[in-house]
Amino acid sequence: MILDYSLVTIVQIVQQSALLSPEFGSRLQFGWTITVHIVFAALSIGLAPFIIYFTWKDVRTDDRRYTHLREFWTKVFAVGFVMGTVTGIPMSFQFGTNFPVFAEAAGEMIGGPLAFEAKMAFFLEAVFLGVLLFGRERVSDRTYVLSSVLTGAGAWLSGFWILVVNAWMQTPQGFELVERNGMEVAQLTDPVAAFFTPRMPWMYVHMINASVISVTLLVAGISAYFVWRKRDSEAWNTALRAAVVLLLVTAPFQAIHGDAYGRHIADTQEQKFAAMEAHYETGQADLHLIAVPRSLDAMTDPRTDNLFTISLPALGSFLASGGDFDAEITGLHEYDENPPVAVVFWSFRAMVGLGFLFIGLALWGGNLMRKGQLRERTRYLQAMMLASPLGFVALLTGWYVTEIGRQPWVIQDVLRTNDAVSTTLTASEVTGTLVAFVLLYLALVTAFGFTLKWLMEDELERMGVRDEGDRSRPQLPWVNGDD
């Protein structure tokens, strides 16, 4: 009896302390799967211009350099595409498994774009990737180049349709709420309004550019590594130069566009804007250029008193309103429920900070290129190697601002996340599957990391700079520089 009782108690304690609520567990699960998926989706989008450029140059000039770059990056693209596919399928399932109320209520609004995504974009990418990978000897040069363009177009179109859906969730319009099968669902009334929401162009430009920047940094970092190992590698010098040139265009553009995008958010999602600046009291808003937490509390609950900030007074109001220093910005105190402010606030700072770092790296590289010193300047090569994953960090933190900043709404002002979750889902189910997803996706990320490592090792071997016998030679510069 006593044993029985204590077992029940233990089970209860474990359940209460270790199991997540269906809502929070589902949010974590979706957040985690999208965190991994978005990296691979961005990899496809961002690599597309490189693949097209290298393929086109290869076919046109028959220069070994480009053949080589095409082959290397197409392999990365292929592995990334498979990873993107397998990590993306669970996400579309999760609409049904974890958020069925959302799927049923918004199905009419989001189903069309998602079906277009599959039929128009995903097939295009998958079919012509097959040709790109295996068809060099089997189709004409022209068809081959076209296949690279269509594969890339598939990736970009995919992003378009996904963002049509997401933008609608941020700024929903073009529908009315009606009763169907015992629940309130959104019925399409104006397709043009629903597909081309105010947020859509902002999101698309920002996201595509972010993907290109992320991949450009990856390409730059890997190229810099090979150049650092073998300075006269023409192929990798070419790739490095191409990446620096692309970064010079895309990084400054993102800052300009991001500023205007921020103003748009202030117009359309005041609460999110307030969370981005941790702006609690309605009134004039300052702009915090730099914020450093004074304590652990300030980390988890950022408020101006707890932060060491370098701020420009009233500039928040100025930027949000497009020119009025006295503009009143609604503070977070006005709302019953707020998003996790700390996550949004710090993610936003990380994204913006990294964005400026990328501009700096681009200008530094551009200057070195002008002086013809790109390949010699070891510091720069090492900086680019270190920066190679940072684009993805900026992309993810940006995505967190967008998605977490919208909470508690899954569809802004229409459906709360809490109401969108499955009513049949249990805490143990959601916790168990979350653990499984975390482990599985970590294994995938690790496998991808190793794939990249093996590809790079093969490349070193081909370049004749890999010394199998000498284990003491450092493989990566940040372990032990050897210049």
Partner 1 sequence: MTSPLFVPVDAYLVPSLPTVWFGVILFALAMYVALDGMDFGIGMLYATRDERDRETLLAAFGPIWDANEVWLVAFGTTLLAAFPAVYSRLLSEQYLLAILVVMSLLVRGVAPELREQRENAEWHELCDRLFVVGSTVTPLLLGTLVGSWIFGTAAISLPSLLTGVGVVALCLTSGAAFVAAKTSGSLADDMVRYGTASTVAYLGGVVVLLGVVYWLGPSDVRTLLLTAPAAAVVLASVGVGVGGLVAARRGRHRLWFGTTFVLSFLLVGLVAVLLYPTIYPASGLTIDAAVVSPLALNLTTVFGLPVLVLVLWYFKFLYGTFAGPVDGEGYTN
Q: x/- string (CB under 8 A) for partner 1, residues 294-333? A: ----------------------------------------
DSSP letter string, 426-476: -HHHHHHHHHHHHHHHHHHHHHHHHHHHHHHHHHHHHHT---SS-TTS-SS
CB 477 within 8 A of CB 378: no
423-452: contacts with partner 1 (CB under 8 A): 424-425, 429, 433, 436-437, 440, 444, 447, 450-451
Q: Which is nearer to partner 1, 321 or 451 (CB)?
A: 451
Alpha-carbon 236 to chain mean position: 26
Write the binding mask 157 to 186 for partner 1: x where contact by CB under 8 A, - elsewhere.
---------------------x-xx---x-
Q: Which helix (H) or strand (E) holds 189?
A: none
Nearer to partner 1, 82 or 287 (CB): 82
Cβ at position 295, least distance to partner 1 in Å: 40
Q: Hunting for tokens 């989008």 — which residue is that?
A: 45
CB of 41 to partner 1, least distance (A): 14
Question: Of 55, 59, 67, whose CA–CA distance to 128 is shortest?
Answer: 55
Backbone angles phi, psi at 80, to 5 degrees: -60, -40
Query: In this complex, which beta carbon is closest to partner 1, that of residue 356 or of residue 454?
Result: 454
Among 1, 3, 192, 296, binds partner 1 (CB under 8 A): 192
Closest approach, Cβ 226 to partner 1, in A, equals: 18
- Closest CB 419 distance from partner 1, rounded Å: 14
Q: How far is the CB of 453 from partner 1 (least distance, A)?
A: 10
**Residue 26 binds partner 1, judged by CB under 8 A:** no
CB of 110 to partner 1, least distance (A): 7
Among 187, 295, 373, 480, binds partner 1 (CB under 8 A): 187
Closest Cα partner for 385 from 232, 211, 238, 240?
Answer: 240
3-state helix, strand, coil in the chain (%, to 5): 70, 5, 20
Residues 101-120 that bind partner 1 (CB under 8 A): 101-104, 106-108, 110-112, 114-120
- Counting contacts by CB under 8 A, is residue 140 touching partner 1? no
Task: List the one residue from 11, 12, 13, 130 that touches partner 1 (CB under 8 A).
Answer: 130
Choose, by CB under 8 A, the member of 19, 20, 28, 78 that binds partner 1. Answer: 78
Is residue 216 within 8 Å of 391, Cβ to Cβ?
A: yes
The CB-of-410 to partner 1 minimum distance in angstroms stands at: 13
Cβ nearer to partner 1, comparing 138 with 142: 138
Asked if 51 and 151 count as a contact pair (C-beta separation under 8 A), the reply is yes
3-state secondary structure at position 288: strand
Residues 6+ away with beta carbon under 8 Å from 80: 40, 43, 44, 47, 448
The H or E element spanning position 290 is strand 287-293
Quick check: 138 binds partner 1 (CB under 8 A)?
yes
- State the binding string over 451-480 for partner 1 (x if CB under 8 A, else -): x--xx-------------------------
Site map 391..430 versus partner 1, x via CB under 8 A:
-------------------------------x-xx---x-
For residue 296, count other CB atoms closer than 10 A to its CB. 9
Contact 76, 454 (CB under 8 A): no
Helix (H) or strand (E) holding 264: helix 234-268
CB atoms near residue 235 (< 10 Å): 22
